[in-house]
């Protein structure tokens, strides 16, 4: 498994050099006070810095402002021309399937158009909405359907399923967690490990 070890080493070095943001940050669009309190208290217990947007317009404004800051931070750390598509201002953005003042689907599309690597988590109110989201975005977004327990939201945001899969492949999960990888980096790592395993086993 020498190839896997080399790949992991290179990815971790990349992560340490590129992940300028060590504070865990979440942007939430929510205007329902009870839902907002639930999301905020749940994520703050896991040491996330939570930014709140009351509507879709504010959500997009806050995101674009933080994206500009992330790009500037990248330049300040030696990247002369960083791409906005890999400068991630938030670990994840969380929004309703539909917002009272606008379309959550359109907001997600706008964010993904300027930053395809940004992780988007939708909160769905029904099976029908969940199916619509999967049809619209395929695997480009994550969906969590109401009702759900606080732990379910935390595990989704913290990529628990991906870490479990890496652990089953024999990776040192605790060492990987120390590197504070973004979700897309974890997914890329898992895909690379599976490809290497497939090549070695011939399956």
The residue ranges of every structural domain in the chain are 1-19+159-203, 22-147
Q: How many CB atoms lie within 10 A of CB 37?
A: 11
Radius of gyration of the chain, Cα coordinates, nearest whole angstrom = 18
Mean pLDDT of 28-46: 89
Q: What is the pLDDT of residue 97?
A: 67
CATH code, residues 22-147: 3.40.50.2300
Structure tokens at 35: 């839902």
Instruction: Tell how strand 25-29 and strand 92-96 pair up.
Output: parallel
Query: Residue 134, CB half-sphere, CA atoms under 13 Å: how many?
Result: 9
Query: Residue 195, CB half-sphere, CA atoms under 13 Å: how many?
Result: 9
Structure tokens at 173: 């999960």
Contact 95, 69 (CB under 8 A): no
Contact 88, 115 (CB under 8 A): yes
Q: Across 12-107, where does the E strand assignment appear? A: 25-29, 49-53, 92-96
Mean pLDDT of 125-144: 83
Name, in order, each residue with C-beta under 8 angstroms of 88's C-beta and a sequence gap of 6 or more.
21, 70, 115, 117, 118, 119, 182
pLDDT tens readout for residues 84-110: 445 688 999 998 866 555 578 888 999
pLDDT band, residue 27 (cuts 50/70/90): very high
């Amino acid at each position: 498994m020498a190839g896997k070890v080399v790949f992991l080493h290179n990815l971790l070095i990349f992560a340490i050099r590129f992940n300028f943001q060590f504070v865990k940050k979440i942007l939430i669009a929510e205007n329902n006070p009870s839902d907002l309190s639930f999301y905020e208290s749940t994520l703050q217990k896991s040491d996330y810095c939570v930014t709140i947007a009351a509507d879709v317009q504010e959500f997009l404004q806050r995101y674009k402002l933080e994206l500009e800051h992330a790009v500037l931070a990248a330049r300040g750390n030696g990247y002369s021309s960083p791409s906005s598509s890999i400068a991630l201002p938030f670990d994840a953005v969380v929004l309703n399937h539909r917002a009272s003042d606008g379309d959550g689907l359109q907001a997600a599309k706008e964010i993904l158009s300027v930053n395809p690597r940004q992780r988007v988590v939708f909160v769905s109110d029904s099976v029908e909405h969940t199916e619509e989201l999967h049809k619209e975005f395929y695997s480009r977004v994550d969906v969590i359907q109401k009702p759900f327990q606080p732990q379910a939201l935390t595990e989704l945001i913290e990529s628990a399923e991906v870490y479990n899969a890496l652990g089953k492949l024999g990776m040192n999960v605790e060492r990987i967690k120390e590197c504070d990888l973004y979700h897309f980096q974890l997914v890329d790592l898992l895909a690379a490990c599976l490809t290497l395993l497939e090549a070695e086993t011939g399956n």
